[in-house]
Structure 1
Amino acid sequence: MLTLQGKNIKLRALEPEDLEFIYEIENNEDLWELSSTQTPYSKFLIKQYLENAHLDIFEVKQLRLVIEDFQQKSLGLIDIFDFEPQHHRAAIGILIAEKENRQKGIGSEALQLLCKYAFSHLKMHQVYAGVSEENVVSQKLFQQQGFVKTGEKKDWNLVNGKYKTEYLYQLINNVY
């Protein structure tokens, strides 16, 4: 099992017991904008996903981890996706599930742990994230972790009948 531990949280592999937690997140329409979700997910589909979550990142090109406190409370999810081992790059997405847990350093610590893992274990040269122009909190989160805004995709995402611009943030590791 993958366990990445910080001072206040740990990142862990998905477990079958995460079914309800992921079901709630994936079916929260307020969050669909973040993942370009268009339709609800059934518990059956999420259960199938969890059954295959053990597959290697080099095979499935993604890795989803649960952000958990030391009382084993699930706080959110952090993902590596669009994993490109040939080019040594991958995208990162992060979600802190409950609003009352946001802006408390949980996301910063999770992002630090995941970047360290991506650079040291996966030998990534860079990680990147797409952040909506309206999501100032996430922009600050990535900037605080050393990500640099390197691009702007104008009218990139259509959300509720309105086009939104997305910013590209990159963190390049010059060690490898």
Structure 2
Amino acid sequence: MKTASSFTPNRLIALLANDVVGSEADKDLLIYDVKCSMNVEKAIINAGGRPMMAKTGHSFMKRVLAANPDALMAAEMSGHIFMADRGWYGFDCSLYNAARIIELWSRTDGLSFSEELNRLAPNLPTTGEVKIPCLEENKLNTVEAIMHAFGDYESSTIDGFKSPF
């Protein structure tokens, strides 16, 4: 008997990304927020899509999605997923997304949901969001100091500082 377990939105985003890439000839962009793990970007690339990291936040994500008509979907680590394929207009609808997940799972050739998640998005360790307390007027200098300390590593400053390890 299989036991139930929870999973992060990272893995669900990877699963959906794998499903939507290639579904529309003129669309290949998938947008994800900076809080997502490297699994999401890898899943998009492995599926043949073009990843774009964006700032975290519902309003930011909707704006980026609207500005990129070649986007198939946008997603946040919070679990908000905005589908923009099949004539869907980039809405964030949990019922529609649940139906899409059930549909794609129905095509997995007998794999369990967990097996399909493990195949596309292994459960990698992640630190999650780390907030460093500082005064508003010190935020830019703090990010700059962190960037300098991690200068030898790949990083992003789209929304704070992010460095994959």
With the length of structure 1 as denominator, give the TM-score of the two structures.
0.24
Compare the two structures and name the one with the higher helix fraction.
Answer: 2
Compare the two structures and name the one with the higher strand fraction.
Answer: 1
Structure with bigger RCO (C-alpha 8 Å, 6+ apart):
2
Higher-Rg member (1/2): 2
